[in-house]
Structure 1
């Protein structure tokens, strides 16, 4: 998919990666920060989709709240970023990105309501693998043996945490798998948009379109939320807005095939939240899986650093 939209004259576009010292490091920090917020939204989605805060909400209603409150959070900062809205949006790319991302998020919210958070998170780690493969196919990015090896190591850690067995084949696990695919394809749209439009415009347009689509879809599934659920929905949307801001900035500063591997750190934060909030102590398998995932990410970071010497 191509676009006739070109960056405006006064838009600041980062120079090529090989000309920017520390660009990859900043991208890694932004991506890890994004995963911290993403893990928190998944915890909130699980609470909303179960009886923790009242009668369970449908995944589409949770997704609707995610878009509405994220859009409101971004609108609150609109005066500070108004001058950045200086490029005509590529509506086709935005609709494609929002459709894929919204579908992926909705499927993920449905999955975490029925299977353990660690299982759903582990399955979702296929998302960066899909993204990396599609980046090579559609964006022409070079994915060498070191990147493939690092991704394979991290994916092995995800399967360790999945604890393969009969429970892995329950229907809800397939929802998480579908979420991973949709979110992986969305990475390509995000990468294309990040080189054409200002970051804030991408986030605002994405959440605006999401609000419209989700508001229509939620009509058939709406039920009055409790006070606690309203608070959780608002927090979910605000955290997602923060996650998107960090994520898009990370994608803008590094190749997709490099930076998406670091999204595996979502599992680390999910484990921490389980321990702090639900008093769930990670067992030996959880620790082994987390170490394996981090090994893959660190191997990739080390190789990238050696290549630039």
Structure 2
């Protein structure tokens, strides 16, 4: 075992000794930082490389990470009882990533990340409409706060509505729908199967658009593209570790640290500052979400 492996094992054992929710919080904090750095790299490369090409390379790297599982037992890797749900998730993932990463390239990084949190509002709406979940008064308060936050972020004034802001909102809505679909898939599917379909399916959808708009990357850009794919895989794995050991209600607040990460990275590396409307809208969405989580936890212990 080399130094890096030894350090990683020691770190894992120290984290494993913590209470479950604290373990999850550590993984969420790390995942947020990893995924924010990934978006910053996409913003950097996206000024010269088409977003669909960036995403295609990202999916290739993710597929490579799943390849040992696929090769070991291809039938098991792709076995599913819900092909339509997987197809819907793959299509929505393609829309969410293309729209979301395009917005990140053109919007201030903190603005794009703040808008992405509006997914909590859309999840609530979709859960009511599709999953027929019961909505108590405290949930409606969170939903209304989220809706007002979205309105403030978009700052709708006719022709002045920013197209990239709308793309970011479209991505958030698509991600919310994906989360609802994953809830249904989780009842019968293995996590590895869900990731495999997403990695291979989105890559297949983006292959032709990426080929049609392909720009030959430099060596430095190739390294950044590979880093994006690697960071995406690591970030998703850390999130999975977090929610495997911790409660969603306990971990959700730590995900909002991504707003801090993105503001700092945007200010230092891109000389950006988030707009007041975005910060105000994001604050409403965060408060509404945390209110809902707090009340859910309170009612559960009554």
The interval holding the TM-score normalised by the smaller chain is 0.7 to 0.9
**Aligned residue in 2 for 1:149:** 141
Which runs of no fewer than 5 residues in structure 2 stay unpaired?
1-18
Tell me, yes or no, if structure 1 residue 127 matches structure 2 residue 114. no
**Aligned residue in 2 for 1:88:** 79
Q: CA RMSD in A?
A: 4.0
Following the alignment from structure 2 to structure 1, what is the Cα–Cα distance between the partners of residues 188 and 202? 20
Following the alignment from structure 1 to structure 2, what is the Cα–Cα distance between the partners of residues 141 and 27? 26
Following the alignment from structure 1 to structure 2, what is the Cα–Cα distance between the partners of residues 112 and 181? 16
Structure-2 change in CA distance of 1:73 and 1:173 (3 Å): same
Structure-2 change in CA distance of 1:138 and 1:35 (3 Å): farther
Deviation, structure 1 residue 152: 4.1
**Aligned residue in 1 for 2:41:** 44
Q: Secondary structure at the match of 1:61?
A: helix
Following the alignment from structure 1 to structure 2, what is the Cα–Cα distance between the partners of residues 107 and 219? 18
Tell me, yes or no, if structure 1 residue 191 matches structure 2 residue 191. no
Q: Secondary structure at the match of 2:185?
A: helix
Following the alignment from structure 2 to structure 1, what is the Cα–Cα distance between the partners of residues 142 and 251? 12
* Superposed CA offset, 1:40-73 (max 9, x none): 32212111111xxxxx111111111221112223
**Aligned residue in 1 for 2:197:** 205
Give runs of aligned pairs for residues 165-176 of structure 1, distance below 5 A: 169-176=161-168
Following the alignment from structure 1 to structure 2, what is the Cα–Cα distance between the partners of residues 233 and 188? 30
Following the alignment from structure 2 to structure 1, what is the Cα–Cα distance between the partners of residues 263 and 107? 15
Following the alignment from structure 2 to structure 1, what is the Cα–Cα distance between the partners of residues 292 and 226? 36
Count of equivalent residues:
281
Choose which of 105, 127, 136 in structure 1 pairs with 2:128: 136
**Cα contact 1:190–1:248 (8 A) shared by 2:** no
* Superposed CA offset, 1:122-145 (max 9, x none): 333332222221112212223322
Moved more, 99-108 or 238-247: 238-247
* Superposed CA offset, 1:190-234 (max 9, x none): 212222112122112210122222222211111111222212211
Moved more, 87-96 or 252-261: 252-261
Moved more, 202-211 or 157-166: 157-166
Tell me, yes or no, if structure 1 residue 179 matches structure 2 residue 209. no
**Aligned residue in 2 for 1:69:** 61
Structure-2 change in CA distance of 1:281 and 1:212 (3 Å): closer
Moved more, 171-180 or 273-282: 273-282
Q: Secondary structure at the match of 2:106?
A: coil
Q: Compute the TM-score of the two structures, normalised by the length of structure 1.
A: 0.72
Q: Compute the TM-score of the two structures, normalised by the length of structure 2.
A: 0.73
Structure-2 change in CA distance of 1:165 and 1:236 (3 Å): farther
Higher helix share: 2
Following the alignment from structure 1 to structure 2, what is the Cα–Cα distance between the partners of residues 152 and 43? 31
Structure-2 change in CA distance of 1:167 and 1:59 (3 Å): farther
Which runs of no fewer than 5 residues in structure 1 stay unpaired?
1-21, 51-55
Choose which of 290, 299, 302 in structure 2 pairs with 1:307: 299
* Superposed CA offset, 1:104-137 (max 9, x none): 1111121222222233333333322222211122
**Aligned residue in 1 for 2:5:** none
Following the alignment from structure 1 to structure 2, what is the Cα–Cα distance between the partners of residues 32 and 148? 28
Q: Secondary structure at the match of 1:119?
A: helix
